[in-house]
């Protein structure tokens, strides 16, 4: 009898967990506080670049104090899952080679100096499992002040191969060929 009761208890626990799992899988990501965004552009050399990210909003917070990026700490360059940078052709980014493929796009701020990181582990939540040993490429650039702040973090890709990140009162550019 005890064995039958234990089996029934375990079965009811599993059954009650199923609807929760189905709800989690059916999550509408557009309802998140930092909704998903995606930009795709074919640049002059014929490569198609896609950046798939989540858009945090400032909401009255101070970047570097209340909201990422924090100085000296690797950032997923967005919110939620790590931002994914994908190219269908090999690229040259600021003079360095990046093979075609998918990469986690991370950044590391040190004041206005920024290291843009293309990491081989693109499927991860945030930067919690980020490993420097998985970096495929790191480039250096600078963050410049803009006169019109961007409430939502936004990426742009020009056909000339200039990738721009706008976040708060900062703009970060790097070139791809």
Q: Band of the pLDDT at 28, cuts 50, 70, 90?
A: confident
Q: Does 11 score more than 90 pLDDT?
A: no
pLDDT at 25: 54
Please, is 36 exposed, middle or buried when counting C-beta atoms within 10 Å of its C-beta (0-12, 13-18, 19+)? middle
Between these two residues, 127 and 156, which has the higher pLDDT value?
A: 156
- What percent of the chain is predicted at pLDDT more than 70? 84
pLDDT band at 171 (very low <50, low <70, confident <90, very high): very high
Which residues, other chains included, contact 118 with Cβ-Cβ below 8 Å and sequence gap of 6+?
Answer: 85, 93, 98, 103, 104, 105, 135, 136, 137, 138
- 119 vs 21: which has the higher pLDDT: 119
Q: Residue 27's pLDDT band (boundaries 50, 70, 90)?
A: confident
Supply the pLDDT for residue 21: 46
Provide the mean pLDDT of the chain. Answer: 88
Within 10 angstroms of residue 62's Cβ, the number of other Cβ atoms is 9
List, as one string, the DSSP characters of 98-156.
Answer: E-SEEEEEEEEEETTEEEEEEES--SSBTTTT--GGGEEEEEEEEEEEEEEEEEEEEEE
Per the model's pLDDT, the better-predicted residue between 165 and 66 turns out to be: 165
């Amino acid at each position: 009898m005890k064995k039958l009761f234990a089996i029934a208890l375990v079965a009811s626990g599993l059954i009650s967990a199923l609807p929760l799992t189905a709800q989690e899988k059916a999550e509408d990501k557009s309802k998140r506080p930092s909704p998903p965004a995606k930009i795709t552009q074919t640049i002059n050399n014929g490569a198609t670049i896609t950046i798939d990210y989540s858009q945090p909003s400032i909401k009255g917070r101070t970047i570097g104090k209340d909201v990422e990026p924090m100085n000296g700490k690797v950032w997923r360059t967005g919110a939620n899952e790590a931002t994914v940078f994908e190219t269908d052709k090999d690229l040259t980014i600021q003079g360095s080679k990046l093979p075609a493929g998918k990469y986690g796009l991370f950044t590391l701020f040190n004041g206005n100096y920024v290291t843009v990181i293309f990491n081989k582990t693109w499927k991860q939540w945030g930067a919690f499992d980020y490993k420097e040993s998985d970096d495929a490429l790191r480039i250096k650039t600078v963050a410049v002040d803009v006169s019109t702040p961007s409430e939502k973090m936004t990426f742009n890709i020009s056909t000339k191969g200039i990738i721009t990140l706008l976040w708060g009162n900062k703009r970060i550019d790097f070139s791809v060929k």
